């Protein structure tokens, strides 16, 4: 009658974690993946001959307090190494002035630093009172969800550079412009991850990298799941019937949709989804980011006492990291084009975009940076099975109007994906938490169903 107990749509971290948890709970599972690979928004690219000579064109970092992903990594026998941060970092000010600094705080004009610091401290006080499992229950939720971060920054920071630095922070952490996001979502994001940590390498969300590349987590999970994972199988419809669901030609008792809401919304559901769910999926667009890397024979900036970490207000590459693989070659400088910059340069020819990124590297790290031996880039908005990165960002007014529909199952249809996480939303850790939570819902419901069915069967 059923081909399996549960279908999981999407073989990213969340879907694979869900499938593993279902298997561990004794359920027979099938994972259907649209792409010809697993890993979703993680993707390795080889830059050398050794297995660890890889860079990631998608998500890459892990950090402290991310217990779900750190535990999983350990279980799968994967190793991590510290993100390179030795040496001095660079800050390029609004007028192109370049300064070196140590630690996490750039050497800025003291007035600007004080201005930024006041706004940041005010924001952190506000974030403390928010429950990331139910942002809509915050006593001031309506007002906060009706104010954009752009508006708040404009009214809170007094200096132009302070405002620009706050906007840069939003852009690099959330890959949208401050105008697109409500204060409530920013507070949620900070409360779910711990805002202090989000910006840092050592001790923060960018602390560690994965030997062999972050896609390895998904590759290893898929290996364990074996032929339960089917690639190149986009699911265009989910049909709910009396005794279960049909999706991608498979029949099962339940289905977990492990996709971001924007992609979950492209599936045809039968019967139609309840209004609240149908509207929610139209209101969590993906962020805009192009990840760019330049390759060099060696990480030459390290010899100049530089960490490779840089922040540039003029941009367009506003944040830069040393992304050299663990063996030390090739040297890799990596930059994100985010929000506004991803949009403007995403429409430009590849050569122009490359010139803009390499140009920023040369301003920051000198002439040697102007002649890389290779260049790699990935525009996630142009990927039909992602439509953007890092994550979906609820638009203003969405948390308060539709937040309750984010995780609420619709009959036998359950929702995973990092966007449904209550801890580290938007990160690997949140993806895994969400997958496991959805698997738990399925196991509990089917357990209850078996128990309910038992007396009838023996009657």
Q: How far apart are CA 430 and CA 433, in angstroms?
A: 5
Give the CA radius of gyration of the chain. Answer: 23
- Residue at token pair 């989804």: 273
Which residue, 272 or 457, is less far from a second copy as judged by CB? 272
Q: Which two tokens stand for residue 384?
A: 């039909």
> Is residue 323 close enough to count as binding a second copy by CB under 8 A?
no
Report if residue 387 touches a second copy, rule: CB under 8 A. Answer: yes
Which SS3 state, helix, strand or coil, does residue 449 take? helix
Does 285 bind a second copy (CB under 8 A)? Our answer is yes
Is the CB of 370 or the CB of 401 nearer to a second copy? 401
Q: Which of 283, 300, 415 is nearest to 367 (CA)?
A: 300
Where does 149-288 have alpha helices with state H? 149-156, 160-174, 183-193, 195-198, 215-225, 261-264, 275-280
Q: How many CB atoms lie under 10 A from the CB of residue 92?
A: 22
Decide: is 340 part of the binding site for a second copy (CB under 8 A).
Answer: yes
Alpha carbon distance 189, 199 (integer Å): 13
Specify the stretch interacting with a second copy by CB under 8 A; choose among 93-101, 106-114, 205-213, 272-280. Answer: 272-280
SS3 111: helix
Least separation in angstroms between residue 171's CB and a second copy is: 12
User: Is position 239 an interface residue for a second copy (rule: CB under 8 A)?
Assistant: no
Q: Which DSSP state fits 285?
A: P
By CB under 8 A, residue 262 contacts a second copy: yes
The answer to the question of residue 142 lying near a second copy (CB under 8 A) is: yes
Report if residue 179 touches a second copy, rule: CB under 8 A. Answer: yes
Check residue 445 for interaction with a second copy (CB under 8 A). Answer: no
Give the whole-angstrom CA distance, residue 331 versus residue 317: 18
Q: 323 Cβ partners below 8 Å, 6+ apart?
A: 55, 60, 293, 308, 332, 333, 334
39 CB burial (10 A radius; 0-12, 13-18, 19+)? buried
For a second copy, give the closer residue by CB, 70 or 168: 168
**Smallest gap from residue 13 Cβ to a second copy (A):** 21
Work out which of 151, 196, 200, 202 binds a second copy, going by CB under 8 A.
Answer: 151
Q: Which is nearer to a second copy, 230 or 279 (CB)?
A: 279
Contact range with a second copy by CB under 8 A, out of 99-107, 125-133, 337-345, 438-446: 337-345
Among 272, 351, 456, 457, interactor with a second copy by CB under 8 A: 272
User: Would you tell me which residues interact with a second copy (CB under 8 A)?
Assistant: 142-143, 145-148, 150-151, 154, 176-180, 182, 234, 236, 262, 265-266, 268-269, 272-276, 278-279, 282-283, 285-286, 288, 340, 342-343, 346-347, 379, 381-384, 387-388, 395-398, 400-402
């Amino acid at each position: 009658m059923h081909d399996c107990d549960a279908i999981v749509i999407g073989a990213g971290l969340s879907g694979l974690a869900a499938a593993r948890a279902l298997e561990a709970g004794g359920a027979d599972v099938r994972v259907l993946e649209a792409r010809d690979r697993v890993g979703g928004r993680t993707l390795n690219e080889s830059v050398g001959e050794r297995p660890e000579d890889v860079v990631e064109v998608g998500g890459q970092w892990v950090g402290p307090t991310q217990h779900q992903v750190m535990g999983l990594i350990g279980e799968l026998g994967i190793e991590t190494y510290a993100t390179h941060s030795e040496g001095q970092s660079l800050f390029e000010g609004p007028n192109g002035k370049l300064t070196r600094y140590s630690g996490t705080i750039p050497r800025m004009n003291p007035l600007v630093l004080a201005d930024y610091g006041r706004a940041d401290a005010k924001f952190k006080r506000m974030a403390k009172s928010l429950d990331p499992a139910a942002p809509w229950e915050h006593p001031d939720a309506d007002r906060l969800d009706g104010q954009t971060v752009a508006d708040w920054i404009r009214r809170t920071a007094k200096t132009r550079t302070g405002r620009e630095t706050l906007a840069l922070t939003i852009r690099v952490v959330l890959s949208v412009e401050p105008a697109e996001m409500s204060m409530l979502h920013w507070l949620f994001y900070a409360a779910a991850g711990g805002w202090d940590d989000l910006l840092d390498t050592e001790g923060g969300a960018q602390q560690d990298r994965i030997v062999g590349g972050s896609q390895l987590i998904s590759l290893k999970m898929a290996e364990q799941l074996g032929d339960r994972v089917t690639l190149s199988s986009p699911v265009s419809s989910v049909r709910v019937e009396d005794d279960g669901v049909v999706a991608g030609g498979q029949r099962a008792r339940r289905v977990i949709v492990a996709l971001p809401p924007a992609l979950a919304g492209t599936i045809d559901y039968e019967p139609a989804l309840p209004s609240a769910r149908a509207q929610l999926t139209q209101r969590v667009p993906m962020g805009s980011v192009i990840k760019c890397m330049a390759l060099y024979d060696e990480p030459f900036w390290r010899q100049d006492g530089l960490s490779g970490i840089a922040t540039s207000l003029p941009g367009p590459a506003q944040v830069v990291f040393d992304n050299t693989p663990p063996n030390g070659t090739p040297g890799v400088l990596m930059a994100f084009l985010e929000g506004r910059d991803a949009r403007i340069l995403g429409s430009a020819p590849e050569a122009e975009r490359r010139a803009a990124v390499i140009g920023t590297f040369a301003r920051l790290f000198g002439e040697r940076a102007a002649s890389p031996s290779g260049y790699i880039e990935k525009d996630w908005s142009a990927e039909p099975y992602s439509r953007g990165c890092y994550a979906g960002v609820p638009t203003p007014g969405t948390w308060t109007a539709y937040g309750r529909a984010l995780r609420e199952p619709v009959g036998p249809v359950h929702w995973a994906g990092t966007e449904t996480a209550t801890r580290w939303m938007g990160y690997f850790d949140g993806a895994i938490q969400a997958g496991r939570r959805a698997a738990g819902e399925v196991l509990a419901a089917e357990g209850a169903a078996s128990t309910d069915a038992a007396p009838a069967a023996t009657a």
